[in-house]
Amino acid sequence: MELVTPNLGLVVWTTVSFAILLFLLGKFAWKPILGALNDRERFIEDSLSKAEAAKDEMARLTNENESLLKQARAERDHILSDARKVKEQMIVDAKELAHKEGARMIELARVEINNQKSIAMADVKNQVATLSLQIAEKVLRKQFEDHQKQDELVSQLLKEVKL
């Protein structure tokens, strides 16, 4: 029976001691320890969610890069094909222009040649006329040096003239 009879003194001392222990540990041990544990857990959770976010961001960036790359490639192809078209157009244009210019220059040359030819022809005509006159003059002069011949000529001319 003594075993199950609480001793008053021990009850009081246990109460007092436990209260002191609870106060001391509660204030100076459990509070900082649990706080530190909570902090660490929150830190780990934060870090994990941050890592997750970084992973997502990474994936997003990769996607973005890829799409950018695709876009750039498409643009390059587009530019290249444009350039090719422009080149062809330019060649066609240039050919046409050259053709036209050539034709124009040939035309001009022909006109010039004609001009020059007519000028030269005129010149030649003049020269021929002058030379003819000079020859005629010289011939006439030779003919009329002798009176007889003149008479002959006149008579011949007169004979020819038929009235």
Partner 1 sequence: MNNSSILNSKIFKPLLISALFLLFCVKPTLSFSQEKAAEASEKPFDPKEVVFEHIGDSHSWPVSIPFMEEHFVSLPIILYTDKGLEIFSSEKLGFHHEEGHEAPIYKGEHYSYKLENKKILAVNEAGEVIKDAKIYDFSITRNVISMWMGMIVLLIVFFSITSAYKKRAGKAPKGLQALLEPVILFVRDDVAIPNIGVKYAKYMPLLLTIFFFILINNLLGLVPFFPGGFNLTGNIAVTMVLSAIVLIVVNFSGNKYYWKHIFAPGIPLWLYPIMVPVEIIGILSKPFALMIRLFANITAGHIIVLSLISLIFIFKTAWMATVSVPFVVFMDCIELLVAFLQAFIFTMLTSLFIGMAVEEHHH
CB of 67 to partner 1, least distance (A): 40
Is the CB of 16 or the CB of 131 nearer to partner 1?
16
Task: Give me the sign of the Cα torsion angle 91, 93, 96, 98.
Answer: negative
C-alpha to C-alpha distance for 138 and 131, rounded to whole angstroms: 10
Q: Which amino acid is at 10?
A: L
Query: Binding residues for partner 1, per CB under 8 A?
Result: 2-15, 17-18, 20-22, 24-26, 28-34, 36-37, 39-40, 43
Task: Tell me the angle at which helices 147-160 and 31-143 cross, rounded to the nearest 10 degrees.
Answer: 100
CB of 29 to partner 1, least distance (A): 4
Q: Tell me if 146 sits within 8 A of 153, measured CB to CB.
A: no
Q: Tell me if 137 sits within 8 A of 147, measured CB to CB.
A: no
Is the CB of 22 or the CB of 136 nearer to partner 1?
22
Is the CB of 13 or the CB of 144 nearer to partner 1?
13
Is the CB of 42 or the CB of 78 nearer to partner 1?
42
CB of 61 to partner 1, least distance (A): 30
Residue whose tokens read 């660490």: 40
| Longest CA–CA separation in the chain, Å | 206
CB of 24 to partner 1, least distance (A): 6
